[in-house]
């Protein structure tokens, strides 16, 4: 984590993000950044990448749904009908495209983490797992099972990831929402990781 100084590059980036997001969302993004850096400290990987992915993960989150859908179609990012029904689900993949194009960020791990932070995916890498979990457990969140997920996040990344998917899928079931098949595929993949089907 940064100690005592903020570089010019960080300052410029923070201001870019601040302009795109509501004040509450901007606070959330800073909380996810700080949490992601702590998780990277615990589980390994670059803290700089965790910081960057954390602050950028919701880059497209406050775009209007029609714009998310338009960009999703234009960029060939639509993978299933659920995204047309719930365009907000596109803010990860759309955000990754925009961050590359508008900010010149090319780090594949950072782009993957931004892209997958809402749905998860089979085979997602360590940084993507960290951002997925950090987004769920950051300061300001509130949902059943949060305390357990926060504890697990610093004990075991694979177990926390499964808890995170379970919580998301359970929430969709209990509130009558569509479930994106990519999250189910991610659950199946990581449940069986290292084992044979
Ligand atoms: Fe998000």
CA–centroid distance, residue 88 to ligand 1 (Å): 9
Question: By percentage, how much of the chain surpasses pLDDT 70?
Answer: 95
What per-residue confidence (pLDDT) applies to 77?
A: 98
CA–centroid distance, residue 54 to ligand 1 (Å): 10
**Residues 6+ away with beta carbon under 8 Å from 113:** 49, 53, 57, 125, 127, 128, 130, 131, 132
CA–centroid distance, residue 28 to ligand 1 (Å): 10
pLDDT band at 176 (very low <50, low <70, confident <90, very high): very high
What per-residue confidence (pLDDT) applies to 4?
A: 46
pLDDT for residue 1 is more than 70 = no
Nearest to 117 by CA among 173, 36, 63, 177: 36
pLDDT for residue 18 is more than 80 = yes
CA–centroid distance, residue 42 to ligand 1 (Å): 23
Residues 23, 11, 75, 79: is their CA dihedral positive or negative? negative
Mean pLDDT on 23-47: 97
The string of pLDDT tens digits covering residues 155-172 is 999 999 999 999 999 999
Helix (H) or strand (E) holding 37: helix 23-43
Q: Which domains does the chain have, with CATH numbers?
A: 8-191 (1.10.3210.10)
What per-residue confidence (pLDDT) applies to 6?
A: 61
pTM of the model: 0.94
Tokens matching residue 88: 């907000």
Residues 82, 170, 148, 145: is their CA dihedral positive or negative? positive
The string of pLDDT tens digits covering residues 114-145 is 999 999 999 999 999 999 999 999 999 998 89
């Amino acid at each position: 984590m940064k100690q005592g100084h903020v570089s010019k590059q960080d300052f410029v980036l923070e201001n870019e993000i601040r302009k795109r997001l509501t004040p509450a969302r901007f606070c959330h993004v800073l909380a996810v950044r700080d949490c992601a850096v702590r998780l990277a400290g615990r589980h390994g990987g670059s803290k700089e990448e965790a910081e960057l992915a954390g602050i950028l993960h919701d880059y497209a989150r406050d775009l209007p749904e029609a714009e998310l859908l338009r960009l999703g179609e234009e960029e060939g990012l639509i993978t299933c009908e659920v995204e047309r029904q719930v365009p907000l689900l596109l803010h990860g993949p759309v955000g990754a495209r925009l961050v590359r194009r508008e900010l010149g960020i090319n780090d594949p791990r950072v782009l993957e983490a931004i892209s997958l932070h809402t749905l998860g995916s089979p085979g997602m890498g360590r940084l993507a797992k960290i951002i997925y979990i950090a987004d769920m457990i950051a300061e300001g969140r509130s949902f059943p099972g949060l305390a357990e997920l926060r504890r697990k996040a610093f004990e075991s990344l694979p177990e926390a990831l499964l808890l995170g998917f379970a919580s998301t899928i359970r929430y969709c079931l209990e509130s009558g929402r569509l479930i994106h098949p990519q999250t189910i595929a991610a659950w199946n993949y990581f449940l069986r990781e290292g084992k044979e089907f």
